[in-house]
Amino acid sequence: MAALAWLLIPVAAALIAALWASWAARNRRIGDVAELAGYARFREAMERSRSGSDAA
């Protein structure tokens, strides 16, 4: 019985690791839209500051 317990411990650990790996590799497209919109606003702000400094 003790040998079975020692066998089940790594099997359970492997199952938990497989579940975690599938969760970590999931597709997260929801956050990308907000990040891209923020990057576009950043680029627009940098272009405005660059064109304003040329006139001075």
Q: What pLDDT, in 10s, does the model give residues 2-19?
A: 899 899 999 999 999 999
- pLDDT, residue 46, reads 93
Residue 33: CB partners within 8 Å, gap ≥ 6? none
Share of the chain above pLDDT 70, in %: 84
Instruction: Give the predicted TM-score (pTM) of the model.
Output: 0.47
DSSP, res 5: H
